[in-house]
């Protein structure tokens, strides 16, 4: 008898682990299989952007991630230098850290190395779904038909095989995704943009870093283009050497002794004690699957898009893919939405995946990663200043009900974030008050449908209660302003959301506005019922 489960998640990286958490929190059973014995042993991603941290805050794991990561003082600026002990070339404050940009969210970004992050996500996922994460378990075959998906899971310890039957598969199996070949017709973009090596090591670099703690230290030497990244702000570091072939390196060159030599060269200290912990050679690509879905199979994370790490978007885009996908899968599996809703995963995420991948590529091109450089080449000003992309992304699909309003004018959608409540956009952060305490709109939403109504919008809130039933996804309503428990000091919320006191917005479980009515309606229950049907592809 095959093992049966509604959703099979292939891959236990950050994207698969996040999908497991999001499904469990929506009451959907899943089985996660990961071919390795445990979570990542080498760090790759480190920057979790504020949008992803908003999601982790909403699911309840924000603090655990912050405890595992670096304190915010580590993220203050970026340094370019001839060597760690040598002449500093330039120092920049990333645009993402400016006061104006910080006001976009109640949540700060976080630097937490992937090998520290994944155990946190794994623990949290296992608490929610005991025994439903299997390690040393590789998906070795998968077929789908009208009834479901059948996958073969091979135990890597004893070679035994288990058949798993699922309704849907989330392929979070990384850049070498096996499932991708079954879903995508082609990858759009460039493969092998540049090559790089990631060296994890122990050394005490405080002498050159303690008084100028930076998120990144770029080393610019004629024969060595590299970056030091702190993992624990003390003695654990990552050293990335870029564009290997343009400087005459081959992957075989990175023996432990050679790595020590190169790290010492990067520091400018020939006798520095260094202990090598791991070496990984990799290639940056900029490619996006032309399709994110084929019937019951969904690509998420690096399986769907590979991008250079210049900008720190790969993992962030991946975990946000699952934020978009999991509420839709849950609604369909509970019979609250029609399967056509699942088409909107591709419609909403694939174009954004392409835009983010292109932006990451342009960052790396501006840093001269694809050719040998005669002198230091500093990145374009957009690098780590992509606030517009992080918060301003918006969707157009059948899971959004347009209200006829125009897209707000934005001279630079990559770096500039223009808050808006136009349907399809992220519900903007605004500070409200409850019982004298500040409350962000971000803390009111997430995980379920949330209606936010103006001070005179009680009829909309009543409509939410009238519509509540097992056939509908969970919904809550908040009235804001007037005599409501939530107040809107100075009318900031109502102006930001552009509604009259009688109006309302409906925020989807992923934090995006699904519908907005600037004012009241004659029959709010009928209107809201139609809106939900439309978002959920019913009727
Ligand atoms: C140097 C570097 C720095 C980076 N910095 C950042 C950053 O700051 N911010 C950011 O957002 N991103 C960053 N990234 C990108 C980020 O690391 C990736 O985007 C992220 O790891 C993707 O997560 P994932 O879960 O999709 O894939 P992965 O992390 O690759 O996980 C996929 C998992 O699937 C498993 N798997 C594969 N096939 C199977 C199978 N058949 N059966 C079972 N298991 C399987 C694999 O073993 C693996 O554990 C960086 C990348 C690099 C290389």
Count CB neighbours of 529 within 10 A. Answer: 17
pLDDT of residue 434: 97
Which class is domain 426-535?
Answer: alpha beta
**Which residues lie closer than 8 Å to 26 by C-beta, 6 or more apart?**
326, 327, 330, 447, 509
215-237 mean pLDDT: 94
CA distances from 316 to 48, 78, 90, 152 (A): 6, 20, 27, 29
375-393 mean pLDDT: 94
- What distance in Å separates the CA atoms of residue 166 and residue 6, rounded to the nearest whole number? 5
- What distance in Å separates the CA atoms of residue 513 and residue 422, rounded to the nearest whole number? 7
Ligand 1 center from residue 11 Cα (angstroms): 9
- Is pLDDT above 90 for 503? yes
Shortest-distance atom of ligand 1 to CA 15: 25
pLDDT of residue 339: 97
Mean pLDDT of the chain: 96
- Is pLDDT above 90 for 470? no
- Is pLDDT above 90 for 102? no
Of all residues in the chain, what percent carry a pLDDT higher than 90? Answer: 94
Ligand 1 center from residue 415 Cα (angstroms): 26
pLDDT in tens, 413-431: 999 999 999 999 999 999 9
- Is pLDDT above 80 for 97? no
- Is pLDDT above 80 for 99? no
* Range from 231-235, 268-272, 483-487 carrying the lowest mean pLDDT: 231-235
- What distance in Å separates the CA atoms of residue 85 and residue 267, rounded to the nearest whole number? 6
pLDDT in tens, 32-76: 999 999 999 998 999 999 999 999 999 999 999 999 999 887 777
pLDDT in tens, 260-303: 999 999 999 999 999 999 999 999 999 999 999 999 999 999 99
Ligand 1 center from residue 539 Cα (angstroms): 39
Residue nearest atom 17 in ligand 1 by C-alpha distance: 45
Q: Which residues line ligand 1 (CB under 6 A)?
A: 10-16, 33-36, 44-47, 114, 138-139, 172-174, 178, 198, 240, 282, 301-302, 309, 312-316, 318
- What distance in Å separates the CA atoms of residue 298 and residue 278, rounded to the nearest whole number? 32
175-185 mean pLDDT: 95
Count CB neighbours of 81 within 10 A. Answer: 24
- Is pLDDT above 90 for 101? no
Q: pLDDT band at residue 486, thresholds of 50, 70 and 90?
A: very high
Q: pLDDT band at residue 17, thresholds of 50, 70 and 90?
A: very high
Please indicate whether the domains covering 3-70+108-187+288-389 and 426-535 agree at the CATH topology level.
no
Residue nearest atom 27 in ligand 1 by C-alpha distance: 174
- Is pLDDT above 80 for 96? no
pLDDT of residue 2: 87
409 DSSP assignment: P
pLDDT of residue 530: 98
pLDDT in tens, 301-311: 999 999 999 99
Which fold would CATH assign to domain 3-70+108-187+288-389? FAD/NAD(P)-binding domain (3.50.50)
516-534 mean pLDDT: 98
pLDDT of residue 107: 94
Note the pTM of the prediction, 2 decimals: 0.97
Q: pLDDT band at residue 454, thresholds of 50, 70 and 90?
A: very high
CA-wise closest residue to 224 among 257, 264, 252: 264
The number of angstroms, rounded, from the C-alpha of 172 to the middle of its chain's C-alpha atoms is 13
pLDDT of residue 74: 74
Which fold would CATH assign to domain 189-285? D-Amino Acid Oxidase; Chain A, domain 2 (3.30.9)
Write down the H helix ranges in 308-422: 314-333, 343-366, 387-392
- What distance in Å separates the CA atoms of residue 53 and residue 312, rounded to the nearest whole number? 14
- Is pLDDT above 90 for 256? yes
Residue nearest atom 21 in ligand 1 by C-alpha distance: 315
Q: What is the CA radius of gyration of the chain?
A: 24
Give, for ligand 1, the residue of 287, 315, 318, 390 to mutate: max count of ligand atoms closer than 8 Å to Cβ. Answer: 315
Task: Show the CA angle centred on residue 12, arms to residues 198 and 395, nearest 5°.
Answer: 90
| In the chain, where the domains are located | 3-70+108-187+288-389, 189-285, 426-535
Ligand 1 center from residue 100 Cα (angstroms): 31
């Amino acid at each position: 008898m095959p093992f049966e489960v509604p959703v099979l998640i292939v891959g236990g990286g950050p994207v698969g682990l996040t999908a497991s958490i999001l499904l469990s929190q929506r009451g959907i059973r899943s089985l996660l299989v990961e071919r390795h014995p445990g979570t990542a042993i080498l760090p790759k991603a480190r920057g979790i952007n504020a949008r992803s941290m908003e999601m982790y805050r909403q699911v309840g794991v924000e603090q655990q991630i912050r405890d595992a990561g670096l304190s915010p003082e580590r993220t203050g600026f970026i340094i370019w230098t001839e060597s760690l002990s040598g002449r500093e070339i330039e120092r920049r404050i990333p645009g993402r850290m400016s006061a104006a940009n910080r006001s976009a969210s109640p949540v700060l970004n976080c630097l937490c190395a992937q090998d520290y992050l994944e155990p946190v996500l794994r623990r949290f996922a296992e608490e929610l779904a005991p025994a439903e994460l299997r390690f040393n378990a590789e998906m070795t075959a998968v077929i789908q038909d009208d009834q479901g998906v059948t996958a073969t899971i091979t135990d890597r310890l004893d070679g035994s095989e288990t058949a798993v039957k699922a309704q849907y598969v989330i392929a979070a199996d990384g850049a070498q995704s096996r499932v991708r070949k079954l879903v995508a017709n082609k990858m759009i973009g460039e493969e092998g943009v540049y090559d790089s090596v990631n060296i994890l090591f122990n050394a005490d670099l405080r002498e050159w870093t303690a008084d100028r703690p930076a998120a990144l230290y770029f080393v610019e030497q004629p024969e060595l283009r590299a970056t030091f990244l702190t993992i624990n702000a003390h003695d654990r570091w990552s050293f990335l050497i870029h564009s290997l072939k343009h400087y005459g390196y081959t992957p075989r060159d990175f023996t432990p002794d050679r790595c020590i030599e190169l790290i010492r060269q990067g520091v400018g200290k020939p006798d520095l004690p260094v202990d090598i912990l791991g070496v990984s050679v990799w290639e940056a690509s900029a490619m996006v699957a032309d399709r994110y879905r084929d019937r019951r199979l969904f690509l998420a994370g690096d399986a769907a898009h590979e991008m250079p790490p210049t900008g720190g978007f790969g993992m962030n885009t991946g975990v946000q893919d699952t934020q978009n996908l999991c509420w839709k899968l849950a609604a369909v599996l509970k019979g609250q939405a029609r399967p056509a809703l699942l088409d909107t995963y591709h419609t909403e995420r694939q174009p954004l995946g392409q835009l983010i991948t292109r932006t990451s590529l342009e960052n790396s091109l501006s840093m001269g990663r694809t050719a040998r450089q005669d002198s230091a080449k500093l990145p374009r000003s957009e690098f780590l200043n992509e606030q517009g992309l992080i918060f301003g992304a918006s969707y157009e699909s059948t899971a959004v009900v347009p209200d006829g309003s125009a897209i707000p004018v934005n001279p630079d959608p990559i770096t500039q974030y223009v808050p808006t409540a136009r349907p399809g956009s992220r519900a903007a952060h605004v500070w409200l008050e409850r019982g004298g305490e500040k409350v962000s709109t971000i803390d009111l939403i997430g995980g379920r449908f949330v209606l936010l109504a103006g001070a005179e919008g009680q009829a909309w809130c009543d409509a939410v209660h009238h519509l509540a039933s097992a056939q509908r996804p969970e919904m809550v309503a908040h009235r804001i302003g007037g005599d409501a428990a939530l107040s809107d000091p100075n009318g900031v919320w109502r102006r930001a959301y552009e509604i009259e006191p009688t109006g309302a917005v409906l925020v989807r479980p992923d934090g995006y506005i699904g519908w907005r009515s600037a004012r009241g309606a004659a029959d709010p229950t009928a209107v809201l019922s139609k809106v939900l049907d439309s978002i959920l592809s019913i009727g």
